[in-house]
């Protein structure tokens, strides 16, 4: 039997790894269900969802030239028309867009400052421009330098103080 992309088949789980599960389809043909294709929600550990010898319904999502077969359990589930899968969790690592600069903190960056400061007069669409970032950095650094100068001048006697 030829395995075709889009076919829905039943198979038996023969192996579980940290990145997915191997499923025996028929006639010794084995495919891989990647961890991202096991369930609609976030899967931290494959063993929480599957066990060896489980019989699962899978959909063939790709067949490589070298014979590797990509499978999906979540795409094999028949859903009613117009059903939306639950939204993906927002990632909070440094590997995503923005290099991990921002997390979902109610519109604030790492320093607790709001994202949407508009220093240049043009609208900010969630992501500040380079110029906005530079002007904010310059303002913050000038404030820090002036407060440091005030604190150190008081300890040294300030300007124009006579030394004895």
**Would you give per-residue pLDDT tens digits along the chain (164 residues)?**
578 899 899 999 999 999 999 999 987 899 999 999 999 899 999 999 999 999 999 999 999 989 899 999 999 887 766 666 666 555 555 554 554 444 455 555 555 555 554 444 555 556 778 888 899 999 999 999 988 888 777 666 556 555 55
Task: List phi, psi (to 5°) of 97.
Answer: -60, 140
- Determine the number of helices (DSSP H) and then strands (DSSP E) in the chain: 1, 5
Distance (Å, rounded) from C-alpha 68 to C-alpha 61?
Answer: 11
Tokens in use for 90?
A: 């927002």
Rg (CA), the chain: 28
């Amino acid at each position: 039997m030829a395995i075709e992309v889009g076919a829905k088949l039943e198979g038996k789980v023969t192996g579980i790894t940290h990145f997915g599960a191997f499923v025996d389809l028929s006639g010794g043909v084995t495919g891989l269900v990647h961890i991202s294709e096991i369930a609609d929600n976030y899967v931290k550990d494959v063993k929480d969802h599957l066990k060896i010898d489980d019989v699962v319904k899978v959909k063939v999502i790709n067949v490589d030239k070298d014979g590797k077969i990509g499978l999906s359990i979540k795409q094999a589930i028949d859903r009613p028309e117009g059903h939306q899968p639950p939204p993906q969790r927002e990632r909070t690592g440094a590997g995503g867009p923005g290099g991990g600069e921002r997390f979902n903190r109610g519109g604030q960056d790492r320093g607790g400052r709001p994202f949407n400061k508009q220093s240049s007069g043009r609208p900010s669409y969630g992501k500040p421009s380079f110029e906005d970032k530079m002007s904010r950095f310059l303002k913050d650094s000038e404030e820090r330098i002036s407060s440091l100068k005030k604190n150190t001048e008081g300890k040294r006697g300030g300007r124009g103080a006579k030394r004895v």
